[in-house]
Amino acid sequence: MTPNISLSLAGRVAVVTGASSGMGAATARRLAAGGASVALLARRADRLDALADSLRSTGAAVLPVPTDVSDRAALDAAATRVAEELGPVDLVVANAGLMPLAPIVDRRADDWDRMIAVNLGGVLAAVHAFVGQLVDAAAAGRVADLVTISSLAAQKAMAKAAVYGATKAAVTHLAANLRIELSPLGVRVTNIEPGATDTELRGSIGDPDVLAWLDDYLASTTVLQPENVADLVGYVAEQPAHVNFRQIVITSTAEV
């Protein structure tokens, strides 16, 4: 009979991209609190170091690895380093992203390219870097998880979010396809679509009118906290080996 008990995260080796703020930092804290060793990936080394120091003070094993997820070779190098210093990876949270919302008629093509390179390319680069370790972990009888952070914008069309939504729809669809190939190899794939969450994501918006519009919206409603998404990631990873949350939408009660 399949054991139907929650798993401990102790002994797991996790990688979180976009760990320098928001959901990624909260997820790193949640996984470390559960006993996992955690590699922290993002570009801002000072933020990663501060988070690593605070987690180490709790006894956690953590490794900050400053990495730009749009650079596939850098992620491949990070994968080698994480395996050497923390051990072979069995939990990857592909979370890094940016959201420079703007009207499509503004034709901010550089922002379009960056969103494609980070929001979609960064997930693909994480898959390129870590899929071998995940498959090996599963083959060795360990639980292995790939968690992708998409967005409610993957399924909900919104003004000013055409390219952002397209990158997130691509992540959602990518995850569904990865699941078909990786589940038979023992790797669980979970795609999470959060609604509005109180993070630094608005910082990537360059258009002051769009920023004011978003801030008005955020001030008028209740949004998720990053810890709500982090707890979900922890819960997903703690499921018994035969349980796969495939696709999860999480929003505040206020969001419709």
Ligand X SMILES: NC(=O)c1ccc[n+]([C@@H]2O[C@H](COP(=O)([O-])OP(=O)(O)OC[C@H]3O[C@@H](n4cnc5c(N)ncnc54)[C@H](OP(=O)(O)O)[C@@H]3O)[C@@H](O)[C@H]2O)c1
Among the listed ranges 51-59, 81-89, 128-136, 189-197, the one in contact with ligand X (CB under 6 A) is 189-197
Euclidean distance between CA atoms 200 and 114, whole angstroms: 17
C-beta of 47 vs 142, nearer to ligand X:
47
43 is a site residue for ligand X (CB under 6 A): yes
The only residue of 14, 30, 70, 131 in contact with ligand X, by rule CB under 6 A: 70
The only residue of 9, 15, 23, 91 in contact with ligand X, by rule CB under 6 A: 23
The only residue of 9, 15, 52, 96 in contact with ligand X, by rule CB under 6 A: 96
- Annotated catalytic residue 164: yes
Q: x/- site string to ligand X, residues 143 to 182, per CB under 6 A? A: ------x-x-------------------------------
Q: Tell me the torsion sign for CA atoms 185, 187, 188, 189.
A: negative
Which position among 79, 164, 191, 237 bears the catalytic label?
A: 164
Euclidean distance between CA atoms 129 and 253, whole angstroms: 36
Among the listed ranges 31-39, 79-87, 190-198, 230-238, the one in contact with ligand X (CB under 6 A) is 190-198
Q: Which residues of 187-217 are buried (b: 16+ CB within 10 A; e: fewer)?
A: bbbbbbbbbbbbbebeebbebeebeeebeee
221 is a site residue for ligand X (CB under 6 A): no
Dihedral angle computed from the Cα positions of residues 6, 12, 17 and 18, in that order, rounded to the nearest 10 degrees: 70
The only residue of 13, 14, 18, 86 in contact with ligand X, by rule CB under 6 A: 18
Among the listed ranges 49-57, 90-98, 135-143, 180-188, the one in contact with ligand X (CB under 6 A) is 90-98
Residue 12's nearest CA partner among 173, 137, 169 is 137
Euclidean distance between CA atoms 95 and 17, whole angstroms: 5
Beta bridge partners of 194: 250
Angle value at C-alpha 205, between 153 and 97, nearest 5 degrees? 55
Euclidean distance between CA atoms 188 and 7, whole angstroms: 14
The only residue of 34, 64, 88, 97 in contact with ligand X, by rule CB under 6 A: 97
Q: Give min distance, CB of 232 to ligand X, in A.
A: 12
Distances (CA, A) of 48 to 21, 67, 92, 95: 9, 10, 17, 15
99 is a site residue for ligand X (CB under 6 A): yes
Q: Give min distance, CB of 248 to ligand X, in A.
A: 12
C-beta of 65 vs 138, nearer to ligand X:
65
Helix (H) or strand (E) holding 169: helix 162-182
Which residues are known to be catalytic?
164
* Binding region for ligand X (CB under 6 A): 17-24, 42-44, 47, 68-70, 95-99, 118, 149, 151, 194, 196-197, 199-201, 226
